[in-house]
Amino acid sequence: MQATLCAAHMESTSQSMAWLARRDGSVLIGHGPFQASNTPPPGGVAFYVQNFAPGESQPWQIPHRIERTNLAEFSARFTDVPNLSYEWDPLGAAPFSEVFQEILASIHSGVFEKTVPVVTETGHASQAPEKTIIAAMARRKPPLQSYGWVHPGAGFAGATPELLFSLDGKKLETMALAGTARIDDLDVFAVDQKEIREHEYVAQTLVSKLLDLGNLTRHSRQILELGSIVHFLTRIEVDLHAEMDPQSLLRRLHPTPALGPLPRTDGTMASLLKWRDRLGCPPHFGSPFGLWDQGRFDAIVAIRGVWWEGTQLKIPAGCGIIEASRLVNEWRELRLKREAVKRCLD
């Protein structure tokens, strides 16, 4: 079912909605009310929304109506939005430093090889922020994919560089995205052994989880430039032996070591969730956010976004910690990622 928002599009942002911009430039928007379900409709559309810690019994959200559009048209809708001002709360390093030391101790004792704590910066907008945040994220272009889950007075929206996976028939695509630096440090980043090692943890783990499913192709590591930030990127494709349902792949792949613990066990996940909670991380940060569209499924990793309730804002960012990590470098990386989100809001 298709519809056009035209002059009414700003009013619709006060209602429940969800969207995902796909890599081909198409955008699918769902409007509420949403019906929760434990499975997606085989010939219909549903959004997959869950917390970082899996466990929701009905993660599929079926919209009342949908729209199909493209990036240019979607972003052109938002031309008359409030020009907000933001006040950000001071963010002390002490809580993160305590978690960082606990993680290093766990690594040295052999419990972890890698894990990803999340620091959250909080602030306030001068008025209700959802229209401005949606407009800001709708303007992002590939390789970023914008996404959002919005309800009256609350929600989250972002523009992520990280695809969890795309599934179309027997064709599976995913990526390892790990290792971060400033664009100014590109030459050093390209040969930084700590960043390369962190990236390889993620890439090799993905390959090991997918190798038995079909004919796998791992492409060469490359550098992805995203304005002020660069990442290491490795694309992975699998020609599956047999068709698979999205939820079995979600259980297999989420969370990848780019956002989760390595090794991934009940104990390491419990520790990571405890650290995320201590540092004020929103429960949906880093979780899969997916779109089921008549048999095709695309899932991104919900990072590089803003969470809001009323006028209160949260910008979370994570960093991968391995044995070679240093506190000052990780703190700098966290700030770099948060500042990239703030520039979107500007």
Q: Grade residue 244 by pLDDT with cuts at 50, 70 and 90.
A: very high
State which fold the 6-76+86-345 domain adopts.
Answer: Anthranilate synthase (3.60.120)
Least trusted range by pLDDT, from 54-58, 84-88, 259-263, 278-282 = 54-58
Higher pLDDT, 79 or 19: 19
Has residue 12 got a pLDDT over 50?
A: no
User: Quick one: three-class SS letters along the chain?
Assistant: CCCCCHHHHHHHCCCCEEEEECCCCEEEEEECCCEEECCCCCCCEEEEECCCCCCCCCCEEECCEEEEEEHHHHHHCCCCCCCCCEEECCCCCHHHHHHHHHHHHHHHCCCCCEECCEEEEEEEECCCCHHHHHHHHHCCCCCCEEEEEEECCEEEEEEECCEEEEEECCEEEEEEEEEEEEHHHHHHHCCCHHHHHHHHHHHHHHHHHHHHHEEEEECCCEEEEECCEEEEEEEEEEEECCCCCHHHHHHHHCCCCCCCCECCCHHHHHHHHHHHHHCCCCCCCCCEEEEEECCEEEEEECCCEEEEECCEEEEEEECCECCCCCHHHHHHHHHHHHHHHHHHHC
Please give the average per-residue pLDDT across 144-151, as a whole number: 97
For the chain, the structural domain boundaries read: 6-76+86-345
The per-residue pLDDT for 3 is 35
pLDDT tens, residue by residue, 151-177: 999 999 999 999 999 999 999 999 999
pLDDT band of 66, cuts 50, 70, 90: very high
Q: What is the pLDDT of residues 258-304, one digit of tens each?
A: 999 999 999 999 999 999 999 999 999 999 999 999 999 999 999 99
Residue 10 has pLDDT above 50, yes or no: no
Query: What are 195-226's pLDDT values in tens digits?
Result: 999 999 999 999 999 999 999 999 999 999 99
pLDDT at 56: 78
Query: In this model, does residue 82 exceed pLDDT 70?
Result: yes
